[in-house]
Structure 1
Amino acid sequence: MSIVIKTPEDIEKMRVAGRLAAEVLDYIEPFVKPGVTTEELDRRCHDLMVNVQGCVPAPLNYAPAGYHPYPKSICTSINQQVCHGVPGERALKNGDIVNLDITTIKDGYHGDTSRMFIVGEGSIQAKRLCEITFECMWLGISVVRPGAYLGDIGAVIQKHAEKNGYSVVREFCGHGIGQKFHEEPQVLHYGKAGTGPRLESGMMFTIEPMINAGKAAIREMPDGWTIVTKDRSLSAQWEHTVLVTETGYEIMTQSAACRPKPDWIP
């Protein structure tokens, strides 16, 4: 399958979808606190997307081949949960870390982004993992430009994670996105620079590294969706949707409260 090059009309609609997804994360941040259930976070996000933004929550009833339909509107992955955590009756506790993954559909186009939240007072170790993962995402974004290779993204992410004593999840990756939730290319968060397809203006994909404090091995929970670390170590993830422009990149999932790029990353 070939990589879809986005038209100016596609790009403008993706800017809207991406901004709306980021604004869901802005909205929900004050509610991420000890005692709140992930079910309540899901309900609040669902109501905002559907009743205020006029969006469709992309995860709700999403069913790729081999999976039963996903039952909720967002993903809530706590502590050792790597990704695709299903909201439920679990209440957040002081010191938890949680990834909230939001994908909106607006006028047929997808906006996909996620952030880490520290509940109450997090440990030094948890804060460091979240910070290094944020840096990994931005280092991956920083190498995006026409003529670069897709493998450059994974190489710089892997180098930073492993230099800091962490591991990169191999089984899940970033992906092309547009009118479909998942398109080509697959964006690996590890690998070798100078390999893979050359990037071209108009390509759009997510960069969403999943970084583990322990080993990279993962397993699937009985719900058929939630992925956890095999060694029960903490895991963190950040995600932006990125457009390759004629001179570099544009972040499609920006919002007023979106955390900026670290100053030291070019």
Structure 2
Amino acid sequence: MLELKTPREVAAMDVTGTFIAELLDDLEHRAEPGVNLLELEDRARQLIAQRGATSCYWDYAPSFGRGPFRNVICLSVNDAVLHGLPHDYVLQDGDLLSMDIAVSIDGWVADCARSIIVGDPRPEDARLIAATEKALTAGIAAALPGNRLGDVSAAIGAVAAEYGYPVNTEFGGHGLGRTMHEDPHVSNTGRAGRGLTLRPGLTLALEPWFAAGTDEIVYDPDGWTIRSADGSRTSHSEHTIAITDGAPLVLTRREQVAASAP
């Protein structure tokens, strides 16, 4: 069941999104060789508490996880791409780190992910991150009123094909608002002109994620961390957006959205 948000509700989600962007900026600056993943988890907890926000991950227990999840951020390194369980690991020079977080402020959720290179980058890792970021930009550009959900998925998938990366369809984007996961599911590849018609007030988390060499995944023994089945590097980029009468609003950037109507 789809819930369309009013401009004021979108503006409330943007407050959450702006906080998440600032939190990820903080963690990105701290993610250096020698830093433990648990230090980044602790810093995320500190910032969430200071803001009076609520983690959407704490006690999250979906069917695919070995829950409940008892952390506030997913931290995935190198061949890990989704749901990375923060653990006692010291970041090394050249690690590819994906950070994914969702929080709620005053009852409104935003969700965002960012992949970065710790220390000196490898060219192939920089290319992989650039691909997910470009795919995210393409998906956002296709999120126009009157377009179909398949147009968004096709735009994301076209960038993956351009770079030569396979696409896994088990996990993708999703609706969100009062809760972290709402309808609809947004695949990272699809056929243009198919699916739900996009309407103003629909809020979505778009999240292309690619592995360099495969679309197959495996789970760590922790029951959460998802890795590429062939051990190839991975990248994950995500923004929360709102469909409007014109261009989509990106709510997990630092710019605030004005509330112009009830």
Q: Residues of 2 paired with 1:115 and 1:228: CA distance?
A: 16
Residue of structure 1 in register with 2:15 after alignment: 16
The question of 1:127 aligning with 2:130 is answered: no
Q: Secondary structure at the match of 1:156?
A: helix
1:101 — aligned with what? Answer: 100
- 1:56 is aligned to 54
Report the CA distance shift for 1:224/1:251 in structure 2 as closer, same or farther (over 3 A). same
3-state SS of the aligned residue for 1:105? strand
State the alpha-carbon separation in 2 of the partners of residues 118 and 66 from structure 1.
28
- Aligned mates of 1:30, 1:146 — CA distance in 2: 36
Aligned to 1:196: 195
Deviations 1:168-193 (A, max 9, x none): 22110101000011000101110110
Give the aligned residue type for 1:116: S
Residue-by-residue CA offset, 1:80-106 (whole Å, 9 max, x unaligned): 002000111011100111111121110
Structure-1 separation of matches of 2:94 and 2:26: 21
Does structure 2 retain, via aligned residues, the 8 Å contact 1:24–1:102?
Answer: no
Report the counterpart of residue 185 of structure 2 in structure 1.
186
Give unpaired runs (5+ residues) of structure 1: 257-266
Distance 1:244 1:161 in 2: 23
Q: CA deviation at 1:153?
A: 1.0
Q: CA deviation at 1:248?
A: 2.2
After superposing the two structures, state which structure 1 stretch, 5-14 or 196-205, moved more. 5-14
Distance in 1, matches of 2:36 and 2:163, equals: 32
CA distance in 1, matches of 2:93, 2:37: 14
Aligned length: 254
Give structure 1 regions of 4+ aligned residues with deviation exceeding 3 angstroms.
none
1:6 aligned residue = 5
CA distance in 2, matches of 1:168, 1:65: 22
- The CA distance in 2 between the partners of 1:211 and 1:107, in whole Å, is 33
Gaps of 5+ in 2: 256-262
Counterpart AA for 1:57: S
Output the CA distance in 2 between the equivalents of 1:57 and 1:5: 23
> How far 1:246 sits from its partner (Å)?
0.6
Q: How many angstroms apart in 2 are the aligned matches of 1:144 and 1:214?
A: 28
2:160 alignment partner in structure 1: 161
Distance in 2 (CA, whole Å) between partners of 1:149 and 1:241 is: 18
Greater CA drift, 59-68 or 225-234:
59-68
Question: Using the alignment, how far apart are the partners of 1:65 and 1:161 within structure 2?
Answer: 28
Q: Say what the alpha-carbon RMSD is for the aligned residues.
A: 1.1
Partner AA of 1:109 in structure 2: W
**Partner in structure 2 of residue 112 of structure 1:** 111
Distance in 1 between residues matched to 2:123 and 2:25, nearest whole Å: 24
After TM superposition, give the deviation of residue 66 of structure 1 in Å: 5.4
Residue by residue over 1:3-53, the C-alpha shift from the partner in whole angstroms, topping out at 9 and shown as x without a partner, is 110123321210111111111011112110001111110000110111x21
Offset at residue 64 of structure 1 (A):
2.2
CA distance in 1, matches of 2:248, 2:92: 37
**3-state DSSP of counterpart to 2:38:** helix
Verify: 1:212 aligned to 2:211, yes or no.
Answer: yes
Q: Distance in 1 between matches of 2:238 and 2:137?
A: 9
Distance in 1 between residues matched to 2:247 and 2:197, nearest whole Å: 13
Which residue matches 2:35?
36
Residue of structure 2 in register with 1:249 after alignment: 248
C-alpha distance in 2 between matches for 1:60 and 1:36: 23
Provide the rounded CA distance (Å) in 2 between the counterparts of 1:122 and 1:168: 23
For structure 1, which segment, 165-174 or 180-189, has the greater mean C-alpha deviation from structure 2 after superposition?
A: 165-174
Q: Quote the sequence identity (%).
A: 37
